[in-house]
């Protein structure tokens, strides 16, 4: 196993814990890479995030069914015991969907825009928007 594959494996574990995916060692937008490599790296991130979102949705659906069963048959378990895990999954989904949108915007910029100033301005707007949303 090479150190590169170990790094990817560690990154995927971090993603599972709800942290953002960091496949490049440079800036989040991979601006240090040539345009085609940047586009491919961002597309890889988007694909990985989509897979994780799908897993989280499946887990959320299973928890909702479990809560419904517990509501209908209290002897099976306490419906409130599922609530905290359900909330964690919902928050994780929100974070990952936000990360997905950010990477999609960066990929679009990388693919369709040749003007560096426009890319920088849009990236700054994204960062400012995130700060506003999180405050």
User: How many structural domains compose the chain?
Assistant: 1
Whole-angstrom distance, CA of residue 18 vs CA of residue 41: 20
78 lies in which domain range? 3-133
Q: 82 or 14: whose pLDDT is higher?
A: 82
pLDDT digit string, tens, across residues 15-73: 554 444 444 445 677 778 887 888 889 999 999 999 999 999 999 999 999 999 999 99
Taking the model in full, what pTM does it have? Answer: 0.62
Whole-angstrom distance, CA of residue 49 vs CA of residue 59: 15
Helix (H) or strand (E) holding 110: helix 83-112
Whole-angstrom distance, CA of residue 71 vs CA of residue 65: 10
């Amino acid at each position: 196993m090479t150190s590169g594959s170990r790094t990817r494996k560690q990154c995927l574990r971090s993603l599972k814990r709800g942290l953002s995916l960091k496949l490049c060692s440079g800036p989040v937008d991979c601006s240090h890479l040539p345009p085609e490599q940047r586009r491919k790296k961002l597309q890889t991130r988007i694909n990985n995030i989509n897979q994780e979102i799908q897993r989280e949705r499946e887990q959320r659906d299973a928890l909702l069914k479990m809560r419904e069963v517990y509501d209908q048959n209290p002897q099976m378990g306490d419906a409130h015991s599922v609530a905290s895990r359900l909330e964690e999954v919902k928050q994780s989904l929100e974070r990952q969907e936000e990360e997905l949108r950010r990477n999609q915007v960066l990929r679009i910029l990388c693919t369709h825009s040749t003007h560096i100033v426009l890319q920088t301005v849009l990236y700054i707007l994204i960062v400012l928007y995130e700060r506003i949303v999180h405050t």
